[in-house]
Amino acid sequence: MIWVDAVVQGLLLGGLYALFACGLSLMFGVMRIVNLAHGDFAVLAAYLAYSAATATALGTLGATLLVVPLFAVFGYFVQRGLIQRALATGPLATLLATFGLSVIIENALQQGYSADTKALNPGSLVSASLRVGSDISVSWLALITFALAVVVLSALQLFLRRTRTGRMLRAAADDPGAAALAGADTRHIYGIAAGLAFGTVALAGLMFAMRSSFDPTIGPTQLLFAFEAVVIGGLGSLWGTLAGGMVLGLAQDLGGQWNPAYALLAGHVVFLAVLAFRPQGLFPARRIA
């Protein structure tokens, strides 16, 4: 029964990874760039929420409702102010600039908040759990995170399929030049894509921060998990990313069940195996979104 429990926990953990990954996938799909500071922005959001929740009467829920939209707006301006300029400079520049941002954020957080671990208190949710049978208990927090991931992915999917802005996003992803000719303001559209990515990664960062304690250095690890979820699932497929996240979470939890030191290694090995034997991913899509 321990193993069944590990399977359930691992699959639910996949929801969190999918939440981390969908912004990464969106930015790569639309702008063909990987934001190497993706994980660090999640940590930054967690620290902002921590400050908001401890310094004011907002509480964790209020801080979440404040920080996530704030980050979406922030993402729009990071894209317009910095990443867009890097895109114009050349293909290397976006990687170098976002990697520089990653180091800056991590060290600035270290200076501002010290290297001590912090935790975001989700209130009564942390202890409450749902009992299934005699041996399996699922925390409400994990369930809510997974449900949030499904809701966010569905909303993104609907947005890309059904709305005018979503269509323009897909057009800019296919061919920015042609989209611009057809009247789309690609810079604005890129800003919107980055805003969505930052909003979702902030949400992911906060859900992570409620689940376990965090410190300024965990950003890169979250970036790697998100990246692995995208590659395992198959590039360009949002639901594939959810499945990829679940495979990754499952591998980590089963590896950890075998020996706690193997948890991360097991996830990485599954990723490398997919890369070696099925580089198109387990659930590839023919096109973005």
Partner 1 sequence: MTADEAVTAAPAAPAAPPPTVSRGGRAALWSGVGSAAAIAVFAYLPFMLYTGTTQTLVTFFTLVAMASMWNLLAGYAGLVSVGQQAYVGLGAYAVLQFSDWGVQPFVGVALAAVACAVIAVPTSLLAFRLRGDYFAVGTWVIAEVYHLAIAQDNSLGAGSGEALTTLSGFSPVMREAITYWVGLAVAAASIAACYLLLRGRLGLALTAVRDDETAAHAAGVAVTRAKRAAYLVAAAGCGAAGGMLLVSQLNVAPDSIFSVQWTAYMIFITVIGGIGTIEGPVLGAAVFTVIQQLFSSSGVWYLILLGAMAVAAAVWLPRGLWGLVRSRTSLSLFPVGYTVRGLTNGRGS
Token pair, residue 109, equals 């957080």
Q: Write the CA distances from 7 to 10, 127, 183, 199, 244, integer angstroms.
A: 5, 20, 49, 29, 15
Residue among 32 and 287 whose Cβ is closer to partner 1: 32
How much is the CA Rg of the chain, to the nearest whole Å? 19
CB atoms within 10 A of CB 58: 16
Smallest distance, partner 1 to C-beta of residue 170, A: 20
Q: CA 260, CA 283: separation in Å to the nearest integer?
A: 29
Smallest distance, partner 1 to C-beta of residue 104, A: 4
Smallest distance, partner 1 to C-beta of residue 265, A: 5
Residue among 202 and 274 whose Cβ is closer to partner 1: 274
Smallest distance, partner 1 to C-beta of residue 230, A: 9
Q: Strands, DSSP E only, in the chain? A: 129-132, 136-139
Residue among 52 and 218 whose Cβ is closer to partner 1: 218
Residue among 1 and 92 whose Cβ is closer to partner 1: 92
Token pair, residue 34, equals 């990987």
Residue among 47 and 146 whose Cβ is closer to partner 1: 47
Q: CA 204, CA 185: separation in Å to the nearest integer?
A: 29
Q: Write the CA distances from 56 to 60, 113, 214, integer angstroms.
A: 10, 17, 20
Smallest distance, partner 1 to C-beta of residue 214, A: 18
**Positions that interact with partner 1 (CB under 8 A):** 28, 32-34, 36, 82, 85-86, 89-97, 99-101, 103-104, 107-108, 110-111, 220, 223-224, 227-228, 231, 261, 264-265, 268-269, 271-272, 275-276, 279
Residue among 235, 242, 240, 285 at smallest CA distance from 32: 235
Smallest distance, partner 1 to C-beta of residue 137, A: 29
87: CB partners within 8 A, 6+ apart: 31, 33, 93, 94, 190
Which residue blocks in 2-139 are alpha helix, DSSP H? 2-31, 38-55, 59-78, 84-89, 91-113
Residue among 88 and 151 whose Cβ is closer to partner 1: 88
Smallest distance, partner 1 to C-beta of residue 92, A: 6
Residue among 158 and 275 whose Cβ is closer to partner 1: 275
